[in-house]
Amino acid sequence: MANKTVKEAVTVHGTNPQYLVEKIIRTRIYESRYWKEDCFALSADLVVDKGADLRYIGGIYSGNIKPTPFLCLTLKLLQLQPEKDIIIEFIRQENFKYIRALGAFYLRLTSNSLDVYKYLEPLYNDYRKLRRMSKMGTFDLIYMDEFVDMLLREDRVFDVILPRLTKRFLHVENGELEKRVSLIDEDLELEGGEEKDDEENEEKKKE
């Protein structure tokens, strides 16, 4: 089953889960040394160990289209289609930020819009740095909240086309999600409340 999706897998967004990664990129992944040596016979549990070894995120790089380990493990998860609870544990992972990033990317690819907002939006509060490999094979730094914002707003991330999301406000109108309030908005409201209290106290003193 080296490159085949598990028999019990169900279609995702109407297709074989692995087909969410374009054929030419899948082929490069199957041919890569990392896939052959590090992803062979992996189970969902063992992917965690490989994820703990990740040191950067990214898609493909160099003129020969080489896949990063991050992208290889994403395809392995698509091949294995682990239980949703396992992916949620990836996302809740506090100690290994690259496992969290891997889980977030996989969830964005495979889950419905409601679950994507529900489980990824809390990661806006994670400001840890992530190393990212560019297509030129060089590295830069982004933050976890920036990566999550890419997953929620962009059409393609790491050379993979992301499934279309239902607009968030529609879920809010249907009562499925609450209106999102950022930490900055909460702080401004808190400061505004404190200022109002100070003004009221000053008025009372004058009286």
Does residue 197 surpass a pLDDT of 60? no
CA distance 125 to 25: 32
Please state whether the predicted TM-score (pTM) of the whole model is above 0.85. no
* Average pLDDT value for residue range 28-42: 91
Residue type, 104: A
Long-range Cβ pairs for the range 185-189 (8 Å, 24+):
none
User: What is the chain's mean pLDDT, rounded?
Assistant: 86
CA distance 11 to 145: 29
Does residue 201 surpass a pLDDT of 90? no
Higher pLDDT, 172 or 92: 92
Per-position DSSP letters for 41-59, written without gaps between them:
T--HHHHHHHHHT---EE-
